[in-house]
Amino acid sequence: MKSGENIQYELNEKVLLEDGMDRTVYKENLITQGDLYQNFIKYFIPILLGSFIQQSYAFVDALIIGNYGGKEALAAIDAPYAYIKLLINSFIALSMGGTIIVSQYCGADKKTELEEIIGSLIKFSILGGVIISVIGILLSSKFIKIMLIPEDIYELSLSYIRIYFMGTVFVFTFNIVSGILRALGDSKNPFYYLMCSSVVNIVLDVLFVAKFHWSVEGAALATILSQGIAMALVLNKIKSAGYYFSKRNRFESLKGTLTLGYPMAIQSILFSVSNMFMQRGINAFGTDSIAGWSICGKADFIVWSLADTLGVAVTTFVAQNYGAGKRDRMNQSVRCGFLTSVVTIGIVSGVLFIWIDKVALLFTRDSSAIENAVLLMRSVCPYYIFYAFGEIFAGGIKGRGNTFYPMIITLIGTCAFRVIWVEIVSNYDMTLQHIILGYPLSWFVTTTLFAIYYVVTVYASKYNAYDSDIEKIK
């Protein structure tokens, strides 16, 4: 492709026009034109499959570690997970403002601005990866102590996260550049690259953990090496599209990214902090409880992938149609998200509720860990739909360029609520199940607040403040 051409337009064969010149004909933009629900599903499925594969890193790590390293090693890779997510997701969230802008510029067909923002985002991702690597390694021991990780898995957890943070630049760059491609309408290629890296991860996990017996260190090394391959592939794709070496790559263009991104970064940080409080409460019950919760986290990755992917799809569809000035199609995109979530989340939640004991056996034969996994999963399964609805409402709001109020809602409904919940429960006869209930309760509160905000400020036309803003993009 030549520089600045929109990736979401697939190429047809070249045709000979009346003027005697060969021209390449592009298909219509499937996000802003055509059958909305059909195109939504076509866009959604590759992202979902890619999310499954990306989550498979943690799934495969846990599967092999649990069977070859024991429940201690299984607990060791999950106990500090909230700390890893705190640093990584905050920086990725900061860059998401750029992907929203990319979607809006793409919908408005602003090629020059696309070149500028894409080049800047790539540089931003590499720099951010290096910074977080240094921070993550230097502060790892302090945060592990804060997380109340038991002594019997302390050293294993420390080794795992230090090696993991060495490859942060791979994780950052892949996720951000993949987000750019999806914002341009290309949801297939990131999926293909993840398939490739996932196969590499599985092979390396078996080699390092099962054969060489490198335990958690081998699992971490396998993850970062496979992520490095995924990063190389996605950078090559963006380069072939003419963006990577654009002369318009200027850091000045990051102003809009940071303006939209900082609320999402703050939201991500606070979200991760609240999860650290929850994980800290779980860690206090010992290795068996941590292992049980780890199994739950790996078993329900399908639910999380579904909900998060629906949020991404809705955000992209709303953002591009926002840029194209198609307000009705923006609202229809949100409704597509709800319909899809009811069907998919309902089925998966039911399966996990019924068969969680069978799933747990894939990771460990330890009866205490399995018992905890069954108890915890059945405590949260009926409420996953609330989490999904919250992601869809948030996507509908963010796609319009509004990232501040989603931050406030998440701060109140999720972050503050969970911290308060743990503190309240800890003052009474606290049980592991009581702590875990903080998750579904926070989903319900957050989704309710999102629903109220969406209806009042977005859906109801007399309160709608976005129609005039559309003209600024066009």
Instruction: Report d(CA 50, CA 56) in Å as an integer.
Output: 10
For Cα atoms 380, 171, 154, give the angle at the middle one, nearest 5 degrees: 60
Q: Is the pLDDT of residue 467 over 70?
A: no
What pLDDT score was predicted for residue 377? 92
4 within domain boundaries: no
2 within domain boundaries: no
6 within domain boundaries: no
Instruction: Report d(CA 331, CA 400) in Å as an integer.
Output: 11
pLDDT in tens, 251-309: 555 676 777 777 778 877 877 888 888 888 888 888 888 888 888 887 787 888 899 88
pLDDT in tens, 374-414: 999 999 999 999 999 999 999 999 888 888 888 899 889 98
What pLDDT score was predicted for residue 182? 81
3 within domain boundaries: no
Please tell me the least confidently modeled range out of 52-61, 207-216, 224-233.
52-61
Mean pLDDT (whole number) for 16-24: 38
47 within domain boundaries: no
For residue 3, give the nearest of 118, 125, 175, 124 by alpha carbon: 118
Indicate the pTM of the whole model. Answer: 0.69
Q: Which residue has the tokens 């069978």?
A: 358
Please tell me the least confidently modeled range out of 123-127, 181-185, 364-368, 459-463.
459-463
466 to 15, 263, 317, 396: CA distances (angstroms): 40, 19, 16, 12
| CB contact at 8 A, 436 and 383 | no
Q: Which residue has the tokens 């109140």?
A: 412
- Kindly state the percentage of the chain with pLDDT values over 70: 86
- Report which listed range, 119-123, 175-179, 218-222, 421-425, is most confident: 218-222
Number of domains in the chain: 1
What pLDDT score was predicted for residue 453? 92
Question: Could you tell me which residue, 370 or 87, shows the higher pLDDT?
Answer: 370
| Cα 382 from chain centroid (whole Å) | 22
| CB contact at 8 A, 149 and 157 | yes
DSSP for 104-148, written as a single string = HHHHHT-HHHHHHHHHHHHHHHHHHHHHHHHHHHHHHHHHHHHTT
Instruction: Report d(CA 11, CA 18) in Å as an integer.
Output: 20
Q: Is the pLDDT of residue 250 over 60?
A: no
Please tell me the least confidently modeled range out of 5-9, 206-210, 301-305.
5-9
Handedness of CA 64, 69, 72, 78 (dihedral sign): negative
What pLDDT score was predicted for residue 320? 84
Q: Is 113 helix (H, G, I), strand (E, B) or coil?
A: helix
pLDDT in tens, 65-80: 888 888 888 888 878 8
295 within domain boundaries: yes
Facing residues of 22 across strands?
Answer: 16
Calculate the average pLDDT of the chain.
81
1 within domain boundaries: no
pLDDT in tens, 308-352: 889 989 998 998 888 888 888 888 999 999 999 999 999 999 999
Mean pLDDT (whole number) for 163-181: 89
Domain of residue 207: give its range: 11-42+54-473
Please tell me the least confidently modeled range out of 60-69, 153-162, 371-380, 410-419.
60-69
49 within domain boundaries: no
What pLDDT score was predicted for residue 267? 75
pLDDT in tens, 439-462: 999 999 999 999 999 988 876 544
pLDDT in tens, 98-146: 777 787 777 777 777 777 788 888 888 888 889 989 999 999 988 888 8
DSSP state of 267: H
Return the C-alpha torsion angle 372, 154, 169, 268, nearest 10. Answer: 50
- Kindly state the percentage of the chain with pLDDT values over 90: 26
Crossing angle for the helix pair 287-299 and 327-360, to the nearest 10 degrees: 130
